[in-house]
Amino acid sequence: MSSYNEKSVTVLGLGPMGRSLAGAFLAAGMPTTVWNRTPGRDQELVEAGAVSAPSAEEAVAASGLTVVCVVNYDASDAILRQSAVTDALKGRTVVNLTADTPDRARDTERWAAGYAISYVDGAIMTPITTIGTPDAVVIYSGPEDLYRKHQPVLDTLGGTHTHLGEEIGRAAAYDIALLDIFWTAMAGYAHALAVAKAEGVSGRELAPFAKGIGAILPPIFEQSAEEMDSGNFSVEGNPITSAASSMAHIVHTSEKHGIDAGMMRAAEGMARRVIGRGHGADGFMRIAEFLGRR
């Protein structure tokens, strides 16, 4: 096994996020080796002091810690599970910041254990521009002692770093749930902008009021989480029957303008099914309990 600096780091994957990660390590004075399947993306990093490895095998052999950030686990598997790369990783640590599902994280943990590779899974929860700043948010799961060992290096990425537990799939589970919120909200906002435009309301006119809706959500999130955890969905003044009625208005107005209302029809349909089961006086979050039934 070749020697390496314990405080060095290798970054596999030099898309926009990977380049930002490597740049943050370099800015913190960390000896950094980089590799990307498609050549030519490392020029600025090399100019900033990074070492460009000619192969993934040589890249991982250069450091005790390898950070992976590629498009998905199909891509990370294609790199890490090459026999030469796997052999070079034995006795070293992989922190995989690639986004995918909890099951893929668990499969990768099993693979790593079979080859004496230490493994931590993680997810980056904030945009590229936050890396290396106080606004970055990164979450991790896996062996806590392993995470703590490499935390001084990982902390140079800036912002908040949270270890969520030893079960390897927890970081991906948080990531999936939080992205569910984000993309569902963005899809809803896109639909709202289309409906508003059809009614002669511009995006600029709507945006200040949309921000107002966003501002009332945090306490609703807290209350809804408590309802879900306690199983008590009784609320005063805002029953799910009222929610279903307002959803029907959105569907009617959308379809009057020829705008697809499939998303809202699905939400209204869930609400109607909950009402049909005798829970019309409960709050909207009763649908979360309904969705969770097998």
What are the tens digits of pLDDT across the range 69-84?
999 999 999 999 999 9
Q: What whole-number distance in Å separates Cα of residue 57 and Cα of residue 52? A: 12
To the nearest whole percent, how much of the chain has pLDDT over 90?
Answer: 94
Residue 222 host element (H or E): helix 203-230
- What is the structure's pLDDT at 294? 63
The low-confidence residues of the chain, meaning pLDDT below 50, are 1
Structure tokens at 174: 């948080």
Q: What whole-number distance in Å separates Cα of residue 116 and Cα of residue 131? A: 30
- What is the structure's pLDDT at 67? 98
- What is the structure's pLDDT at 5? 65
> Are 138 and 161 in contact, with CB atoms under 8 Å apart?
yes
- What is the structure's pLDDT at 216? 96
Structure tokens at 64: 């005790």
- What is the structure's pLDDT at 292? 83
Buried b (16+ CB within 10 A) or exposed e, 211-229: eeeeeeeeeeeeebeebee
> CA 163, 164, 167, 168 torsion: positive or negative?
negative
> Are 85 and 79 in contact, with CB atoms under 8 Å apart?
yes
Per CATH, is 5-172 categorized as 3.40.50.720? yes
- What is the structure's pLDDT at 2? 52
> Are 90 and 140 in contact, with CB atoms under 8 Å apart?
no
DSSP 128: G
Q: What is the pTM of this model?
A: 0.93
Q: Which fold has domain 200-291?
A: N-(1-d-carboxylethyl)-l-norvaline Dehydrogenase; domain 2 (1.10.1040)
Residue spans of the domains in the chain: they are 5-172, 200-291
- What is the structure's pLDDT at 4? 62
In angstroms and rounded to an integer, the radius of gyration of the C-alpha atoms of the chain is 23
